[in-house]
Amino acid sequence: MELATQRQDLLEKARLALLRLNPPSYGFADAALTEVHVALQVISVITKVHPKKYKKQITKVLQEFFKDIRTPRMRQTDNQGCYNSALIARLINDNLFHVDEFWLDEECMDFGTDNVVQIEWMGYRISWDEYDEMLSRLDELSRAGSFTIMMGILWGNVAPESIKEVWNFCNETYRWNLPEIPEIQNNCYIDISRLKRGLRKHGLQSLASLIEAFDGSTGNAFYDFDPETWMPITISENDLVVAHEAWLEVPKIRKILDEAYDILETRSDVFPLFLEAYIKSLRSRERKGKG
């Protein structure tokens, strides 16, 4: 057994000596060292946020990462990822915050040439395309899903000539109890504090949070993230810590939003009560310099 260990040790020394004789190009070394630097930054943040258990959390992955920092990079071809970068992404995902699934794929990740990471956004923001798709499949929605349609109508996302048809269909199918289409004044904004107060009276304040999530204004990056306009996070210790702190808030927000969906599914009076509070919360925009 001891002989086998000695032999292994000798082989490892020989391997390292041979590698030393073969210095890589500047570009290769720069990319590989950047990857190592990103790994060290991630480890550094994990030690800060998990001071007691970090060793247990990361040792195995680190051993895998530092087993060979050259070959995985040599294996990559154009526009392909690097195995070691996928390991770092996994470390972030398991210990700091969830990253986009795409970023966990070895084929796609390369911190050596692009040291950014995409967070896993929660998907409450709805794109125009997604909204149009929902409109095209109105009969397949849940009652809670129809709330999105209502908000789209109130926010002017439905063509005027289609509003009546869509509203009536949803009102009947999803029991909105709102036969009349409300008149919404132009050029106004939602006073969210007032809306929350109005909804709280009926135990519906979670709906205000749901609207914020639709709008991308919860104040939490994981809910507000817009993949079409936001840049991915460039890895720095500070940004990793901020993202981790935001991730810790995610369960609390998720619980509120789940509650909102439950209410939308179960309470028969939810749509009229919401609409009443919503209309009362609207404020006209004042033009500056007028008057």
Partner 1 sequence: MEEPTTTPPAAATPAILVATLAYMLNVQETGQTFPLPASIATDDNLIKRSLASVIPYIDTAKLERSEPKDGVVTITVTKTHAPKGAGFTGSSFSPVIDSLIASEADGTNAVIRTFLDVEQMSKEIASYQPHQILELKKQIEAAFKSGEKQDNAFKAIVSALIESSPQAARVVPVGF
Identify which range of 54-62, 141-149, 226-234, 241-249 contacts partner 1 by CB under 8 A. 54-62
Among 69, 163, 241, 282, binds partner 1 (CB under 8 A): 69
Whether 224 and 215 have beta carbons less than 8 Å apart is answered as: no
Q: Is 36 in the site for partner 1 (CB under 8 A)?
A: yes
Q: Is 202 in the site for partner 1 (CB under 8 A)?
A: no
Nearest approach, Cβ of residue 25 and partner 1 (Å): 8
Nearest approach, Cβ of residue 190 and partner 1 (Å): 46
Q: Is 26 or 291 the residue whose CB approaches partner 1 more closely? A: 26
Per CB under 8 A, which of residues 70..99 are in contact with partner 1?
Answer: 70
Taking alpha carbons only, the member of 45, 33, 40, 91 closest to residue 238 is: 45
Nearest approach, Cβ of residue 67 and partner 1 (Å): 7
Nearest approach, Cβ of residue 69 and partner 1 (Å): 6
Q: Is 56 in the site for partner 1 (CB under 8 A)?
A: no
Identify which range of 66-74, 102-110, 213-221, 223-231 contacts partner 1 by CB under 8 A. 66-74
Nearest approach, Cβ of residue 39 and partner 1 (Å): 9
Binding site for partner 1 (CB under 8 A): 12, 16, 19-20, 23-26, 29-30, 32-34, 36-37, 40-41, 43-44, 47, 54, 59, 62-63, 65-70
